[in-house]
Structure 1
Amino acid sequence: MCEEKGNKHWSRRSFIKTSGLSLFTTTLGGVPSFVAQAAASILEPASFQRKKVLVCIFQRGAMDGISAVQPIDNAFLKKHRPNLVFSATGNASKKLLDLNGAFGLHPELAPLAPYYKNGTLAILHGVGSPVANRSHFDAQDFMESGTPGIKGTQSGWLNRAMGAMGHEATPFKAVSFTPTSPRSFYGENAHIVVQDLSDLSFSAEELQELQKLKELYQKESMAELANAGIYNIEAAEMMASLDILNQPINPNSAYPMSPLGSGLKQTAKLIKANAGLEIAFVESNGWDTHSRQNVDYGGFTLRARDLAQSISAFWEDLGTLQDDVVVMTMTEFGRTVMENGSFGTDHGRASCSFILGNGINGGKIYGSFPELAFENLEDNRDLPVTTDFRSYFATVASKHLNIKDKSSLFPGWDGELLELFR
């Protein structure tokens, strides 16, 4: 959002008077087919059924999967990661949380451990792109477009998923809680990009003015602009009709004061309000841990703490609605197996992902993790990619969103799905 917090009233008035779209950072690649139908849902919010919701968390910067889910008492790591390795015994705040006798969870990820233990959280190790690329920009682009190695893809895999669902929806079908539209959302299917839902909140008087503006948009000769304006206004109307901002928060849910915590808290509000949310996208930044990775205030320590606390707060906040929701994490690549001279790690290949949901066949670590020896590493330095990220993404889309046509999401790919769901 481009407005300043202290200037919200001015921005709203400016929007009404100038017909500007800056208040709503909505990205449309085409004309939404469901604008007219959405109006009926706004007037009768109970008229549509609750949908399954996919919550995607992109860990930008490349998370060190070896630190997140670490082999226990591994001699190779003790030798080549002396400042990053943890033990499964010793100081409680510095020891791995034993998952299965072979792997342990980083201590800052402790809030996720109960979900692994109760079988709702699964871990996928060795996941990444089949195309080797250690550029953050390129690797993120390939992962979000769903076409590794192909730079010319115009749409993102989540936008294609929006279209493949094949049913009418509300303006809140797909929402990204980010400053700008993520590459995953690029494409012809309409979605909303907003950092704070309060920016879509208007008084009754302002909503009347917006209704007049909608009538003007309906006369607009530029169809894309007209539909974008109508789409945004209908989102504002729905915000008011469902009282989304005032949805209660579970008192046991302590969301961190971070962009990730805020995005997940607002995602929970949309789910609880039955606003028609089906895909939510949030980001966790700062995983590029080249130095001082595991010190008390190092990059990995802070990011892991925020990730685990945010996911746990969100999951507890959902309460009985957990059955409708799956949370999946992704990151562009992993880190080197050996630490560098700055007590950090450099760009690598495979990492790990977390997937949480009551339908997940959890309490397991999926994927392949080789015996750590130089001859088993890619280029003698990196964990090899043993699971194509498209297998992971396609499994979630198929089992949770009921999108069976893999080729519609990942052109030219016909790989196998994973056994992540019950």
Structure 2
Amino acid sequence: MPQLPSVTRRAFMKGGAMAVVGASAIPSFLTRSVLAQATTAQAQGKKLVVIFQRGAADGLSIVVPYREKSYYDLRPSINIPQNQVIDLDGFFGLHPAMQPLKPLWDQGHLAMVHACGSPDPSRSHFDAQDFMESGTPGSKITPDGWLNRALAAEDAARRTHKDSAFRAVALGPQIPRTLQGKIPAVAVGNVRDFSVGGQNPAATPIASSFESMYGDSVNSVLHGTGAETFEAVKMLKATDPAKYVPAAGASYPGGAFGNSMKQIAQLLKANLGVEAAFADIGGWDTHQNQGNVNGQLAGRLKEFSQSISAFWTDMGDQAESITLVTMSEFGRTIQQNGTGGTDHGHANVMFVLGGSVQGGKVYGKWPGMEKSQLFEERDLAITTDFRQVLGEASYKTLGAQNLEVVFPGAGLQNSRFLNLLKA
């Protein structure tokens, strides 16, 4: 690749679609590196975005089995009335606060997997989240996260090039359990302000000579797990995040999750070499005053749906190369409690969105809601292991073909995928 000139103020790198605004030139060694990494990542094409709904979302009032009489009998004050459910297939329907996602369903980009979750019966938020993020239900000694292992499995299968420092990125103050492992990852607290977090004990310090040479152009430190931390700061600086304008029609809601999704879109569109991105949204632990069409749950779902819909719109044509999956540690009890809420349950629902998703369908075997069909006579039973969904996403999006590496002991086989994604 021929040497590129230094990129100066208001320059534009067409190949990387990266606007660069700065008071001083960016070194040519950096522009060469960024372009090389972006080109390689772009050639591979696909990207995986993972969303964790922390607190145990109530899947039964998110994707409502509105033809189930038991749903209404056991939830007299918090059910979603049939006439207000957004019908999907004549049996299931969306909570009315999720209207922004209906067009994506109609277009065939959005699918759900119901009665899905972890086979471990724990009702502890801490343990259940750990099991799902490690990808090893029941084991507390797994040292790394499933998404990090998926990237490692991809490496073993087909990668030979030098990685971007932004190959794996999380929006938040620290690197989540999901992305911990041998593949370098970075945690970005706020792209706009260059406020970055997630110091890892194993992180390599920024080279002091480079820091002193270009220190004026760095507002704060980006903490990651790899040796390219300094380069990551410069790459992030080059995207000029303060000037980012979402695509026409992409209206992100206020709040932390909307901001996270906007920043993921920004990082993806800047062609920084991102292959895996992670964000989370809390507030799903609705033990009291859950509400129905309106209320606590509805508020969470409105932000959740608007943020994902805006992200999809913002990505434009690039959305075709993205797979987005959602997960939550467990569902909630079928029966409402005495304080107008629900307690810790078992099976839940996962969303899968993307250009290669075979959407417009609710996947999974429905177990039923009669007492004899329930898990421990109180919860929706699991008929699809969450690793089936994440395994297919890892295999078909990241190219992680060795699923035993990604989810050890799960016995996943591509011949038994739900076929949520086109090959």
TM-score range, shorter chain: 0.7 to 0.9
Q: CA deviation at 1:120?
A: 0.7
Kept in 1: contact 2:38–2:273 (CA 8 A): no
TM-score under structure 2 normalisation?
A: 0.81
Q: CA RMSD in A?
A: 2.5
Q: Which position in structure 1 is the counterpart of 2:20? A: none
1:372 aligns with one of 347, 369, 373: 369
1:236 aligns with one of 233, 246, 257: 233
CA-to-partner distance for each residue in 1:5-51, whole Å, 9 max, x for gaps?
Answer: xxxxxxxxxxxxxxxxxxxxxxxxxxxxxxxx988423656643413
Q: What number of residue pairs does the alignment pair up? A: 367
2:322 aligns with one of 322, 325, 333: 325
| Aligned AA (1:182) | P
| 1:141 is aligned to 2:130 | yes
CA-to-partner distance for each residue in 1:272-318, whole Å, 9 max, x for gaps?
Answer: 11111111100010100111112576331111111100000100001
| 1:161 is aligned to 2:150 | yes
The share of aligned pairs that are identical, in percent, is 41
| 1:353 is aligned to 2:350 | yes
Kept in 1: contact 2:185–2:225 (CA 8 A): no
CA-to-partner distance for each residue in 1:203-235, whole Å, 9 max, x for gaps?
Answer: xxxxxxx87533899xxxxxxxx9968522101
| Aligned AA (2:418) | L
| 1:187 is aligned to 2:178 | no
2:70 & 2:141 partners in 1: Cα distance? 41
Q: CA deviation at 1:259?
A: 1.4
Kept in 2: contact 1:42–1:234 (CA 8 A): no
Kept in 2: contact 1:145–1:153 (CA 8 A): yes
| Aligned AA (2:297) | F
SS of aligned partner of 2:298: helix
1:255 & 1:154 partners in 2: Cα distance? 35
Q: Which position in structure 2 is the counterpart of 1:120? A: 109
| 1:420 is aligned to 2:412 | no
Aligned ranges 1:180-329 → 2 under 5 Å: 180-200=174-194, 213-214=209-210, 230-294=227-291, 298-329=295-326
Kept in 2: contact 1:127–1:385 (CA 8 A): yes
2:40 aligns with one of 28, 33, 48: 48
Greater percentage in helix: 1
Q: Which position in structure 2 is the counterpart of 1:17? A: none
1:129 & 1:228 partners in 2: Cα distance? 29
> What are the ranges of 5 or more consecutive residues in structure 2 without an aligned counterpart?
1-28, 197-205, 214-222
Kept in 2: contact 1:245–1:269 (CA 8 A): no
1:256 & 1:400 partners in 2: Cα distance? 28
CA-to-partner distance for each residue in 1:43-95, whole Å, 9 max, x for gaps?
Answer: 65664341311111000000111100111243212211011222232xxxxx1
Aligned ranges 1:30-109 → 2 under 5 Å: 40-42=32-34, 47-50=39-42, 51-89=45-83, 95-109=84-98
| Aligned AA (1:402) | G
Kept in 1: contact 2:113–2:350 (CA 8 A): yes
SS of aligned partner of 1:195: strand
2:349 & 2:109 partners in 1: Cα distance? 17
Kept in 1: contact 2:54–2:281 (CA 8 A): yes
Kept in 1: contact 2:321–2:356 (CA 8 A): no
Kept in 1: contact 2:109–2:359 (CA 8 A): yes
Kept in 1: contact 2:37–2:163 (CA 8 A): no
Q: CA deviation at 1:241?
A: 3.4
TM-score under structure 1 normalisation?
A: 0.82
Query: Do the aligned partners of residues 278 and 82 (structure 1) sit closer, same or farther apart at CA in structure 2, a change above 3 Å counting?
Result: same
Query: Do the aligned partners of residues 232 and 82 (structure 1) sit closer, same or farther apart at CA in structure 2, a change above 3 Å counting?
Result: same
Kept in 2: contact 1:38–1:169 (CA 8 A): no
Kept in 2: contact 1:127–1:386 (CA 8 A): yes
Does 69-78 or 350-359 show the bigger shift? 69-78
Kept in 1: contact 2:96–2:293 (CA 8 A): no
Kept in 1: contact 2:34–2:272 (CA 8 A): no
Kept in 2: contact 1:247–1:272 (CA 8 A): no
Q: Which position in structure 1 is the counterpart of 2:203? A: none
Query: Do the aligned partners of residues 47 and 329 (structure 1) sit closer, same or farther apart at CA in structure 2, a change above 3 Å counting?
Result: closer
Does 180-189 or 60-69 show the bigger shift? 180-189
Runs of 4+ in 1 over 4 A off after TM superposition: 37-40, 43-47, 226-230
Q: CA deviation at 1:110?
A: 1.1
| 1:363 is aligned to 2:352 | no
Kept in 2: contact 1:38–1:171 (CA 8 A): no
Kept in 2: contact 1:38–1:170 (CA 8 A): no
